[in-house]
Each structure stands twice: as structure tokens, then as C-alpha cells.
A and B are shown apart, each in its own frame.
Chain A
Amino acid sequence: MAAYLLRRLLQSALILLGVSFITFVLLYVLPADPVRQIAGRSATAQTVENIRHELGLDQPFVIQYLHYLWGMVQGDLGRSYLQKTEVAALIAARLPATLLLMLGAIACELVIGLTMGVFAALRRGTAFDHSLMMVSFVTVSAPQFVVGLLLLYVFAVQLGWFPIGGYGTFAHLVLPSLTLGILGSGWYSRMMRSSMLDVLRADFIRTARAKGLSRARIVLAHALPNAILPVIAMIGIDIGVFMGGIVVVESVFGWPGIGQLAWQAIQRVDIPIIMGVTLVSAMAIVLGNLLADLITPFIDPRIKLK
């Protein structure tokens, strides 16, 4: 177990190294010049060169990258070009909000998605099943800013049940979590439905029925734990999908997380922040996957981590 964890963490470090390199290359070849952004339109060529030199952007690519890497292993993600503050500190200040939003969203999508999937499977082929799957199709296809704005309009503007935007109380969390979660719930309901249908056909379900168990016990104790196994692996991967959605949803709801930070940084070509947010997202995905793999053996005794 310890050996497994160590090996996985080493692998994770390698993945982060790869991500940092690819992102760095992409930002280096970007046609937008961050120095121009900082200097402003009226700056002289001399000023521009001074700033470039000051930021170390006149150095060769390899030196720049190694420099960044050296900082990275020490936990230093550089300073924002424009805000002049530590990127690590900026991210650390906003990370809790994003994590909270992600937790809320995961809770939403699992509760909605798994329930829908289980009930659709149990009533397979009925009008109920078809309409649930239709709903899941719509939620999978709907763009998040549309869903977000719609929820805002109905529940915040018209009904006034929830605040329009911002951060602080549980009420603030509901609409953004729902917006993110609804998209995921479509995926999860479909996945859970097909997984559940597979399990319901399994021989051990027939055994459970032959034992004379109640329907509730068959579904809850026998079918569900088996059907949920492939879904757990999915949650790990899903965090990556979230990262994309979070940029949109945080903007729509004025949620002060790293998605907003990233969005602002992209507009201003604030490369250190973009790098930093990308790395943190990558780390979240890697850790999410690791976590999913670590949880699985607790539900499936056949899996041993070696």
C-alpha cells in the first residue's frame, strides 16, 4: 500500500512536469506579448525592453523554463505581472472557494445523476425511463452559461429564493453548484443506468432473488455497490471537466475562485497566473484520480493496490 502510494505520487510528479512544460511552451509561442500589456500603448521601446529584461523574458526559452521549474519545486509560482503579488498566495486565497464549489457540484451531480440512473434502470423501457433519459440528454447538451443564467433568472431574480451572486453563505453556493452539477448529472445518470442494468442481469442478483430477499435489499445491498464501481473511477476523471466549467460558472455567479482568477489573467496575458492555475488544476485532476483509485478497494475487495 505504501509502495503503491509512493509510486503513484512519483507518477503524479512526472505528469505535473509534463503539464508544466507543455503549458510553458504554449504560452511562450503565444502571439500576445505580455510586456506590451504591462507597459501600455504609449510606452517607448526602451521602457518595453526594460520591463522585458526585468521580467526575465529576454532570456532564452530553456533558461526561462528551468528558472520557472526551480521556483516550482520550491513552491514559488512567480509573481503576477500586473498585480505584483505572489501567484501562490493569490491561488491559495481563492482555492477554498473553488474547492467548496466543486464539492457542492459533485454532491449535486451524484445525488441527481445516480438517483436518476438507478430509477431509470429499475423501470427500464417504461415512459418514466425514456423521459429521464431525455432529461439527461438535455442537461448534457445544455451550455453551462445558459443553464446558469436560466437558474439565476428563475430562482434568484423571479422567485428570489437565492442571492444573485457572490460568496459567503450556503444560499450562495446552491445555484452555482447546481449549474455545474446538472451537466454532470446527465453523464452520471446515463452511466449509472447502464451499469445498473448490467448488474441487474448478473447471476448473483438471480441468486439474491432465489434467496427470497426483498426488492429493496436486492437493489440497495447487492446491485448498487456493484453498479457504482465504474462510476467512482469516473469521478476522478470528472474533476478535469469541472475545471473547464468552473471558469464559466464563477464568472456568471461572481464566485471568487480560481476560475475567475484565470479568466482575468487570460484577458491580461498574465502568464504566471495562467501557469499557476493550470498547474493547480492539473494537480487537482491527478489527485482526484488517485483518490478515486484509493477509494475503490474499500468497495471492491477484489482490487488490491500493489
Chain B
Amino acid sequence: MKPAADAALKSRSGADLAPDAAPVLMVENLTVSVRTDEGVKPLVRDMSFGLRRGETLCIAGESGSGKSITSLAIMGLLPPPAVRVTGGSIRLGETDLNTLGEAQMRRVRGDRIAMIFQEPMTSLNPVMTVGTQLAEAIRAHDDVSRSAARDRALAALKSVRLSQPERRMSQFPHELSGGMRQRVMIAMALALRPEVLIADEPTTALDVTVQREVLDLLRDLQRDTGTAIILITHDMGVVAEMADRVIVMRDGAMVEEAAARALFSSPRAQYTRDLLAAVPRMGQGALRPPVDNAPVARLCDVVVRFPIRGGVFGRTTHLVHAVEHVSFEIRKGETFALVGESGCGKSTIAKAMVGLVPHQGRIEIGQERLADMRGAAMQALRRRIQMVFQDPMAALDPRMTVGGQIAEPLLIHGIGDSAERRSRAADLMARVGLTVDQYDRYPHEFSGGQRQRICIARALALNPDLIIADESVSALDVSVQARVLDLLRELQVEFGIAFLFISHDMAVVDNISDRVGVMYLGQIVELGTRAQIFGNPQHAYTRRLIEAVPVPDPAFVRPVLDRLTGDVPSPVFAAGRGPKQVRLADVGGGHLVADGVE
């Protein structure tokens, strides 16, 4: 199962590895099936693997590959009654988990096998304090007093390097950021020193710098406790950084199992090779000549603030400074990327540009100023800017045919008669890689990637000058993502469209953009060509963003940095106050860098 050369005494985290003979968890021929109207369908087929103490096993695969189902099967948390384990065994030490009843299984869960989930924002009970949630996990398994449980809960919070742990105990989840909540989840999972920790996409919902902190934390904790980790992820960068061993899954079956280095250096299965090829890597974007066309959009000193009201008469007491004095331009046929972490104001800029939120300062679309436009002029302007959002399922009307939705912008703007609109929509469908006979189908009949193609076709319907792609490929699997990015590039060449590409994913941005603006707390802190930003990052925050990106290469040695625990400061200020405005200085060749922040 494991090449002898790799059976070292230490795992990559530095934890001591148990001898090969004694796996803590042994899964053999596991099959999980769902009962549907058409009969019993397998979701996971014939999974077999062993997990040793101190080891990190990554299960990688795209959505629907069965990786989460596998973890839920181990936890005994499969959604009853439809989904059940229909074959094979799961042994934890000497215990066969499949033979345990619910009451016995409950004693295993949380105590011997713990789990953390993808969504830290919703995985904690919103109406219970952090301390209580931690303490109850301890008291569910150990017969200790309330105060003893609280002491241990506090110790657990300290071990995950949460700032002000005493204060956190009495706070509610909504008072903590996503990264802090995931730390709480980890503290809760590890408080009872489980033999196995299952982490299901633990960093997928987090910003890249926070992801780095959480991954570092998991590694450090593993080194200290020797917990075996099953890390489920779609991100090959995370796999490369964390895994001792990797299982690649597809359609419910194991495609390949290998030691991490072997998998990345010499993948055996074709699917693994395709998957690795599709992973966006930094520094691999094709070099393109600079675009020097006229701007299609220009922002000058744009400010967006949202009032927070209070008091008897509902006066504005505080302001959210979402966007502060942002200036940039997007040229015809160019891809301008805005990168930054959640809450930095990048999506608010997009909303301001289409007039969905009020702004101060100057936004020009073409030669016209956005703020001056009303009624028909505004309507005409809307034809020139279209948007493609992150979640295509949410962006499509579930009760309208996809053809109808692609044709709808034409209808709204009174273009053509119904036959012309239909034929234009059909052409667009063909252009984005769908077939015309799918015209009368509904969104739920399509896959995630196809749905995003539908959204792109809809955005193209009005022949816009500018398409704002707000995290448009973030929710897609890498292979699908790669194809959608290719499509966007082709469309840009074909129609001369400019893209405002908003993303948190540095690798994707490095692959697709011509110029990049880095945003932090509502302000642009660095702006330049892709080569300037990624080849010669000047601002500390830009560097931190780039360094935080997981590198899909297990041989990559990351420079040892301080373990960060800081949080991004709040953009909320009392009325009359505000953040310090940064000044951008040209360091050569139009490369603008903010002075004096951090």
C-alpha cells in the first residue's frame, strides 16, 4: 500500500508515524449507496485505505466524486434513511464501526473520530456561546464538572492560537470572523484528542491568507498530538502542501492512490494527469502584449459608504467605508483584475459601476458619467455592461427555460422580434459550447459549468463593451474552471470585450489578467501589469497574498514565516472619522504602490 522508501518515521508535519502494521483506521471495500425511485445507486464503490497515526491522507476529487460521502460514512452521519453503507467495513482500531448501534457510534463520534466542515460561518450554533459549545463537546464524552470542562475548553482555544481566548469563551459565533470560527471548530474537534480528524474542505470557504494560517495550525497540532488526518479537498495546492498520501477519487471510485510526491511527479492515471494539468499555477499565464486601447470604463476617486443608523431618530452614527478613493481604468479588450480578500470592497465596486449602489466620485462608462444618467440613458448604458456572478444556479431563474433567459436581455431592451431573439439566443448557446436543442431546458438539467456558460451567453446577448465577472469561476471544479477561462479568453479575442475580473484566487488572476489592482480595506494598495504585480510585488499585503497561495508541488519548500493570527481590521468607522487614505506612487512603468500601510 505504501512504498517502503516513504515509510519514514516522521510525517510531513513532523508527527511520529506509527509502524505500518498498525493503522488507526482501516477502510476496506467500502460501498455507499442511495435508494432512489430507480433503484439502489452506488455513490461510493469499493474504497479501501488505511490511515496511520500521525499521517495526513488527502482525498482529492471534483464535486460529486464521493469524497464527502466517504467521510460521512466513516462518521456514521450519512443522511438517513436513503443513503446507507451497503458493503465493506470501516475499522477503527479493533472496532468495526458498521456494526455499532447509534448509541455506541455516538460515543465514537467526537471522541475517537472528530470532524470539521467546510462552512465555518454556519457550522456553529448561532445562539450558543463558543465556550458552551466547546464545553458540551467535552462533557458529552468525559464525565467532568462544568467548570473543569470550561477549563479544558479554554485550553483548547489557546491551543488553536485564537487571540483573547478568555473573551472568546463568552462570545457568540457571529462575533468572530470566518477564520476564527474555523479555529473554534478545530479546537472543538481536537479537544478530546481524537485518533482521527476528518477535515472536509476546511479552508475552501476561507480567504487565502486565513487558509494559510489554518493549514499551518493543522500541521502544528498534528505534530503535537499525532492525530491522523483525513483531509478532503478539491484544491491540489492544499493537497501538495499537506498530504503524506493522496487518494484521487472520481465518480465514487478510487482512481489512484500514491504518496504525495509520487502523485505529483509521476501520476499514473490519466484522470490524475488531466486534473493536475487543469490546476491554475502562478507564473504560467501566457505573455500578452500590453493593451493600449481607449478605456471603456474609468473610475476616478470613487467612494462608496453605507450608513449604519441608530438612536431615536435613526440618524447615521457609523459608516461602513466599503470603497475609498478608488481610481482605475479598463481598456477595450483588456482584462483588469481586482483581487483582495472578502470584505475588501471589490464586489461593491462592481455594483457601483452598474448603478446598483450609490457612489461618490466619478465613474465614466465610455465617455459618459454614470451619475448623470437617468431613465433611457441609464437603460442604454446597461446594455454596455453585463455581469456574470459566482453562483450560476442562484443567478438563473429555475422556472424559465435557459434559452428564454439568454434571450431576455434582448426582450428587455426591445431588440428584434421573437424569432430574431430566439435565433440570436441559439447562436449564443452554440458559441459558448451548448447545443441548440437545449434551448427549452431548465437550469437544473445542466451541470455547474454549463450553467455558468448559460450566464456568460446571457451576458453576451447585448454585445457589451465590458463584462464584470465577479468570482465567476470560483465555485467551479478546476477542470471546468479551466474550460470556462478558455472560453472567456476566446470571447475576448473574438468580440474585443473588456473584462473586470473580480477574484480572490491569485493563481487564476495570474493566468487571465492583463492588469491587476490589489485591494485592501476598500482601497487599492497596488496596481500594475500582471508582470509587475506577480513578478515584482512591492506592497506588503500583495506579497502576503501571493505567498499564502498553496503551491501544487509537494517539493516546494515554503519560506518559514511567522504564524499569523491577525484579523483584517473593520471598515466601520464612527461618522466623521475614516480610514487613513493611502497615496499611490509610481515605482516605474505605471506600477503604482501605496505608501505607509502596514
Binding site for B on A (CB under 8 A): 3, 6-7, 10, 202-204, 206-214, 217, 221-222, 225-226, 229, 299-302, 306
Contact = CB atoms under 8 A, between A and B. Distances in A.
Nearest to A229: B127
**A interface secondary structure, majority:** helix
Interface residues of B, number: 33
Contacts of B136: 211, 213, 217, 221
B122 A210 contact: no
A210 B77 CA distance: 8
Contacts of B484: none
Nearest to A10: B312
A210 B114 contact: yes
Interface stretch (B102-110, B161-169, B233-241): B102-110
Interface in B310-326: 310-314
Interface string B550-582: 000000000000000000000000000000000
B309 interface: yes
A302 B175 CA distance: 8
A7 to B, nearest CB: 5
Given A6-B312, A210-B75, A204 B107 contact: no
19 contacts: A3-B311, A7-B311, A202-B122, A204-B122, A204-B124, A204-B125, A206-B117, A207-B117, A207-B124, A210-B75, A210-B117, A212-B107, A212-B108, A212-B111, A226-B125, A226-B127, A299-B127, A301-B172, A302-B127
A226 B125 CA distance: 8
A7 B309 CA distance: 13
Contact of A300 (B115, B122, B127): B127
Interface string B120-131: 001111111000
B109 A212 contact: yes
A206 B77 contact: yes
B314 A7 contact: yes
B140 A214 contact: yes
Contact of A209 (B109, B119, B125, B310): B109
B83 to A, nearest CB: 14
Contacts of A3: 310-312
A126 to B, nearest CB: 11
B436 to A, nearest CB: 38
A126 B311 CA distance: 50
Contacts of B125: 204, 207-208, 222, 226
Given A7-B312, A204-B123, A213-B136, A301 B174 contact: yes
Given A203-B117, A207-B188, 12 more contacts: A3-B310, A6-B312, A207-B117, A207-B185, A209-B77, A211-B140, A211-B188, A212-B107, A212-B108, A214-B140, A226-B126, A301-B174
B151 to A, nearest CB: 18
A301 B129 CA distance: 9
A93 B95 CA distance: 72
A247 to B, nearest CB: 37
Interface string B70-87: 000001010000000000
B127 A210 contact: no
